[in-house]
Amino acid sequence: MTKVKFLSGEFVPMEMHKVRMVQKVNLKPVEDRLRAMDEAGYNTFLLKNRDIYLDMLTDSGVNAMSDNQYAAMLQADDSYAGSETYYRLEKTLQDMFDVKYFLPAHQGRAAENIISQIMVREGSTVLMNYHFTTSKAHIGLRGGAVEEIIIDEGLVITSDHPFKGNMDIGKLEEAIARLGRENIAYVRLEAGTNLIGGQPISMENMRTVSRICREHGIPTVFDASLLADNLYFIKTREAEFADKDLREVTREMGRLMDVTYFSGRKLGFARGGGILTSDETLFHKMRELIPLYEGFLTYGGMSVREMEAMSVGMEETLDLDVISQTPIFVEAFTEELQAKGVPVVTPPGGLGCHVDASAFCDHLPQEQYPAGALAAALFIASGVRAMERGTMSEERRPDGTEPLAEMELVRLALPRRVFTLSQVKYAADRLAWLYQNRELIGGLTFVEEPSVLRFFFGRLGATSDWPETLAKAFRRDFGDSL
Ligand code: F0G
């Protein structure tokens, strides 16, 4: 992706790919969208694809694959043990991250399970720039605690800080002194920090964190799931790397961290996951769990076809033309919304555009899930499926009380190479309409609340008949239009 100058002087994002296979999508009338949202218990995870126009729930497992990935799939070497496909993937990843060992896992959270089982002790703490839902849940299941030491700017919604995902070095040193290194299971750095708006971490920050942790003998764990976007930001926002090859950047990251893991549903344009390390002891310990939870060591729950696609996809991740598509679209999306006055997280990050639901729905208390309500309202108004990233996505404390999220965000993910600019403009337009009518959005309350990761399949109800009122207002303003 690159931006080219038009006659008007405007710089317009240009796709550096062409579409050679398409999938039909449906844009249903607002009454049908209202019914579908109601049937889904006002939880966008429970919607059915057939009712959705643009699926911006996530980039996980839904990135478009390239011709070369499909071609590689045909060459997959099908075998339970010792498949050539596995060795190709292993070599690709060892080269990419400059590490000795690779362990396959069926997806990112499976890698988190293995890492937590081996590295988290009851009562220990994991320090991290910011948590991700599944990473925190796995650490909690092992009796560990999570402490987030993101820079203060990371939680400021509107900012121009280029690396809001950075860890606060002062807080890191303070936490090590306070907790004692023996009580710190590891320090986890997440690339493209998901829950604060896909915000990147700088190489300089990674280097400093790694140095301090090594001085204290504390292991470091790198969640590279959103590495593609993060690489783009390092290349474009960190002067030292402007002319550096992305492979060199990635290899340095691999050397800085003791363990790297990833969701292959995000990184590598396929589906799967894995763990990388050069630490022989950790490798041997973690390896024992792979056949128990994932599958034999040469597939780890992944199909050989996906592994072939992933090998090619990892190489594509090192191509700036390929990885810039999402961040440049996110930037265009964010600027479009800002121009319409809609409150959004800035600077634009990777992964997707993040709307600030606290400001959007400032009439709703956090206990009524403003981000969840906005995601439901957006679906009714547009058929666009987004994801709540706020209090609904938090786990209850052991005493049953509900922590309120630090940010109430609605994430409109842009799966890589999937949507066109006109589709992005449509989503922005409907959000702008919703913003003008924001007082019509009411609250939500749980009707069925699972005890773990409740946001996935919990069911909610509207606190009034606001969804019907919203649908009527849509009809009033848009007439017969979908
Ligand atoms: N780490 C990060 C930063 C993630 O974003 C995800 C998944 C995982 C780990 C877990 O990986 O899904 O393969 O098990 N994020 C998805 C999302 C679910 O929609 O943001 P997984």
CA 267 to centroid of ligand 1, rounded, Å: 10
User: What are the tens digits of pLDDT across the range 55-104?
Assistant: 999 999 999 999 999 999 999 999 999 999 999 999 999 999 999 999 99
Give the up-direction half-sphere exposure of residue 219: CA atoms within 13 A in the CB hemisphere. Answer: 22
Active site includes 220? no
223 lines ligand 1 (CB under 6 A): yes
227 lines ligand 1 (CB under 6 A): no
Active site includes 223? yes
Ligand 1 atom closest to the Cα of residue 111 is 14
The stretch 180-196 carries a mean pLDDT of 97
Active site includes 45? no
- Residue where the block lists tokens 């987030």: 148
Nearest CA to ligand 1 atom 9: 108
CA 115 to centroid of ligand 1, rounded, Å: 15
Nearest CA to ligand 1 atom 10: 108
Angle at 121 between CA 119 and CA 122, to 5 degrees: 155
CA 455 to centroid of ligand 1, rounded, Å: 14
| Interhelix angle 304-316/84-97, nearest 10 degrees | 30
Q: Considering 142, 389, 417, 454, which one is annotated as catalytic?
A: 389
HEC assignment per residue over the chain: CEEEECCCCCEEEECCCCCCCCCCCCCCCHHHHHHHHHHCCCCHHHCCHHHCCEECCCCCCCCCCCHHHHHHHCCCCCCCCCCHHHHHHHHHHHHHHCCCEEEEECCHHHHHHHHHHHHCCCCCEEEECCCCHHHHHHHHHCCCEEEECECHHHHCCECCCCCCCCECHHHHHHHHHHHCHHHEEEEEEECCEHHHCCECCCHHHHHHHHHHHHHHCCCEEEECCCHHHHHHHHHHHCHHHCCCCHHHHHHHHHHHCCEEEEECCCCCCCCCEEEEECCHHHHHHHHCCHHHHCCCCCCCCCCHHHHHHHHHHHHHCCCHHHHCHHHHHHHHHHHHHHHCCCCECECCCCCEEEEEHHHHCCCCCHHHCHHHHHHHHHHHHHCEECEEECHHHCCCCCCCCCCCCCCCEEEEECCCCCCCHHHHHHHHHHHHHHHHCHHHCCCEEEEECCCCCHHHHCEEEECCCHHHHHHHHHHHHHCCCC
User: What are the tens digits of pLDDT across the range 338-369?
Assistant: 999 999 999 999 999 999 999 999 999 999 99
User: What are the tens digits of pLDDT across the range 241-258?
Assistant: 999 999 999 999 999 999
User: Residue 2's pLDDT is what?
Assistant: 82
44 lines ligand 1 (CB under 6 A): no
- State the pLDDT confidence band at 457, using cuts at 50, 70 and 90: very high
> Residues of the chain with pLDDT > 90: what percent?
98
Active site includes 457? no
265 lines ligand 1 (CB under 6 A): yes
8, pLDDT greater than 80: yes
Mean pLDDT score of the chain: 97
Judge if pTM exceeds 0.85: yes
User: Residue 1's pLDDT is what?
Assistant: 63
User: What are the tens digits of pLDDT across the range 387-412?
Assistant: 999 999 998 998 999 999 999 999 99
Alpha-carbon gap, residue 99 to 91, rounded angstroms: 10
User: What are the tens digits of pLDDT across the range 154-164?
Assistant: 999 999 999 99
User: What are the tens digits of pLDDT across the range 9-24?
Assistant: 999 999 999 999 999 9
Active site includes 279? no
